């Protein structure tokens, strides 16, 4: 089959060797498979610069949302309350999880264009002494916006609360320091910046906080503490593990090391992002976020104000050329999203930009597309903020 490039936030393009690693069949209790699981757990802690005496890595079946729900449903006591920080679709999803679980919670929401203000978090915690946990998305996949998880973590630690960070779209593509940032639970997924395939996610948990969650779980299959206990006892998942996905992930971790680790991977992603912004701007497109809030993971672009514009036509034309993008997920503007992570490089980004130009011609949009203008529409800064 011809190669398709996924310019998405996950699932994303993977290397041939990661895909080929899934060709082996292993039993879930084979010694060799259990050794692979143990190795994966060790390497995940190394990637996050975590002390294995204080933190543990817990793989969980399912998508990243499954593991976010596993944390929320497992660690909050019956008399606890979660403060959910929302400035995009995935923060709202955490609030929705709390609602479905009948988990006491309150929401601090700000604009989808703006990161959360740690001072507002502090004031909210001061006014709500029954809050036990704070949950935030590091990189909001709906826009690519980065929240200041380090500074928020300092506020949460001073207030004596527990801290959950959804690092789904940033872990492996940015240098994260969860222990320094007072993170108790960090959640990410195999099929994001670590360039594995979908099938499981993982939680990096502070052991002391996890032990304190005994008896809090509201689910059998998503019981985070019991999953950890089982892995520590005999190295096994409690229920059928995604064996082939784990084999692919082991290879993906090898390739992360061969590339030069997170620092080198982040540099490749950043170069992809800078090239994409430059090319899309030359084609007349404008991004949704101001540059100081934009990560190098995924970018939301505003629909052009052109009478011949149709996102469905745009999507289909790109798809026919082997380029897959994402629809938008912003509540206050019409956008589409382009990711710059996964097994791709600047050559692939150039191919996408050529395909975008060809698509505009096919749609009768030969003149530059004019996006809705903002004060930053002619920004010279093509980079983004720091990792936190």
State pTM to two decimals: 0.93
Give me the CATH topology for the region 261-362: 3.90.1150
CA distance 336 to 317: 14
Query: What share of the chain has pLDDT > 90, as a percent?
Result: 92
Give me the CATH topology for the region 16-257: 3.40.640
pLDDT by residue (tens digit) across 254-295?
Answer: 999 999 999 999 999 999 999 999 999 999 999 999 999 999
Higher pLDDT, 384 or 5: 5
Q: CATH topology of 16-257 equal to that of 261-362?
A: no
Averaged pLDDT for residues 165-179: 97
pLDDT by residue (tens digit) across 320-365?
Answer: 999 999 999 898 999 999 999 999 999 999 999 999 999 999 999 9
Predicted confidence (pLDDT) at residue 368 exceeds the cutoff of 90: no
Q: Which class for 75: exposed (0-12), middle (13-18), buried (19 or more C-beta within 10 A)?
A: buried
What does DSSP say about strands 145-146 and 162-166: parallel, antiparallel, or unpaired?
unpaired
Q: What is the mean pLDDT of the chain?
A: 93
Averaged pLDDT for residues 118-130: 97
CA distance 256 to 263: 10
Q: How confident is the model at residue 1 (pLDDT cuts 50, 70, 90)?
A: low
Predicted confidence (pLDDT) at residue 371 exceeds the cutoff of 50: no
Q: How confident is the model at residue 2 (pLDDT cuts 50, 70, 90)?
A: confident
Domain ranges of the chain: 16-257, 261-362
Predicted confidence (pLDDT) at residue 57 exceeds the cutoff of 50: yes
Tokens (6 digits) for 324:
């897959």
């Amino acid at each position: 089959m011809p190669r398709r490039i996924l310019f998405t936030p996950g699932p994303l393009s993977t290397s041939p060797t990661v895909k080929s690693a899934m060709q082996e069949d292993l039993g879930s209790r084979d010694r060799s498979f259990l050794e692979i699981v143990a190795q994966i757990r060790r390497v995940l802690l190394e990637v996050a610069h975590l002390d294995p005496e204080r933190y543990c890595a817990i793989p969980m079946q399912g998508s990243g949302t499954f593991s976010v729900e596993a944390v929320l449903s497992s660690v909050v006591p019956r008399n606890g309350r979660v403060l959910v920080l929302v400035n995009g679709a995935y923060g709202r999803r955490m609030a929705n999880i709390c609602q479905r679980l009948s988990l006491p919670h309150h929401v601090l929401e700000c604009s989808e264009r703006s990161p959360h203000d740690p001072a507002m978090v502090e004031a909210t915690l001061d006014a709500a002494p029954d809050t036990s946990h704070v949950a935030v998305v590091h990189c909001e996949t709906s826009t690519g916006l980065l929240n200041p998880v380090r500074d928020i973590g300092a506020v949460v630690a001073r207030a004596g609360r527990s801290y959950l960070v959804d690092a789904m779209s940033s872990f492996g593509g940015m240098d994260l320091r969860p222990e320094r940032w007072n993170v108790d639970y960090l959640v990410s997924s195999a099929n994001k910046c670590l360039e594995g395939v979908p099938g499981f996610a993982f939680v990096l948990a502070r052991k002391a906080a996890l032990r304190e969650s005994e008896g809090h779980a509201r689910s059998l299959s998503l019981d985070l503490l019991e999953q950890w206990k089982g892995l520590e006892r005999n190295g096994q998942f409690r229920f059928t593990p995604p064996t082939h996905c784990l084999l692919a992930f082991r290879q993906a971790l090898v390739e992360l090391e061969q590339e030069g680790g997170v620092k080198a991977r982040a540099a490749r992603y950043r170069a992809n992002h800078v090239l994409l912004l430059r090319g899309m701007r030359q084609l007349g497109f404008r991004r949704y976020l101001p540059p100081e809030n934009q990560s190098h993971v995924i970018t939301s672009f505003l629909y052009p104000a052109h009478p011949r514009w149709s996102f469905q036509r745009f999507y289909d034309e790109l798809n026919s050329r082997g380029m897959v993008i994402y629809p938008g997920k912003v509540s206050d503007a019409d956008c589409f999203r382009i990711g710059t992570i996964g097994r791709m490089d600047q050559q692939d980004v150039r191919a996408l930009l050529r395909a975008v130009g060809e698509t505009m011609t096919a749609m009768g949009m030969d003149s530059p597309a004019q996006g809705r203008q903002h004060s930053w529409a002619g920004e010279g800064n093509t980079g983004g903020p720091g990792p936190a």
